[in-house]
Structure 1
Amino acid sequence: MEIAEIVMNPVRQRIIQYFLIHETGTVKEVRKALPDIPSASLYRHMKILTDNSMITVVGENRIRGTVESIYQLNKSFMEMDDAEGATVQMALLNICASFAKYFSGEHVDPRKDMLMMSTCTLTLTDEKFMDFLTEINQIAMKYMNTEVCEGSKTRQITVISAPIDGKVM
């Protein structure tokens, strides 16, 4: 399985997101944070992430004769060199597929579902752009850490940055 294929799965993205927020966790803790994912599915996705070294076992809890693994995100996998942009292209295709799946459904209501797309152009120095990204990350982290409750809906937010023409002002 290609790395892009592994990380583009929505369930695995949510598991990775859990570890970005919590640093470490057990399957039980991940299941509590992601209650809408069936246990068998969660275990299968955790195994895929572990087998591909995206998460690693960093400790164990001994509970009444059984061993519970403590996992942590392997941050080095996120630093992969992808000069051809295959991972980004796979991510973009995944976004397109998500929208196609949504619009092929029976009861499509973009207004009710708060479907949105927003684009803006920024002209900033690299330093100011990093400040902008840091602020977006802080806001996202605040809401990613919100507990799932009655009425919660899973929504995916994607921020994409690309140079327009390479000109420096």
Structure 2
Amino acid sequence: MDNSPSRWSDLALHPVRIRILRAVAGTRRTTRDLAAALPDVPQASLYRHLATLVRTGLIEVAEERRARGTTERVYVLPGQGVTPDAATLAAATREDHARWFTAFVSSLLSEFSRYLERDHLDFTADGVGYQQLVLHLSDAELARFAQDLSKLLLPLIQHEPAADRVPRLLATVLLPADLPHSPPTGLADGPDPTTKGPA
């Protein structure tokens, strides 16, 4: 069985499965809830994709309960609403991280989709933004960056809800970026061999 991290994204990147993951992100959904949320998806197709997501661990069954003489399942994203502690992270496999990250990205996709469904959008006034930056940092600089960011965020995290405060989602991802490929030896300072010279 292929347990490579790319397998999880391959499993998730199907139009119907993406919609299921969106529907479950940030909440708990029964099969009936999902059928109502995706009325254009044939029931047999919905059940098949849902079974695949559950079997591969991209969606979990939070509970089973009796309803109208049948067993009704309640679905959530894996680890939803839970930040793994140090011991859990230390024991996690690559497969665990791939599942958790897929759930994390699915949750972000869901939140952004909900935002785009608003009647009025104003990215500037709403403070919406997304970007990727590459930071060139030594280990010491990375540690200082993490400390400075924690100092900045800690007092904000402790804010209580208030009438003049809007809940704002801040998601962070930090990981090593691939190094740029160096040009082959002997070509770095010479002419581009694919460029034509004067005729």
Output the TM-score relative to the length of structure 1. Answer: 0.50
Kindly name which structure, 1 or 2, has the bigger radius of gyration based on alpha carbons.
Answer: 2
Output the TM-score relative to the length of structure 2. Answer: 0.43
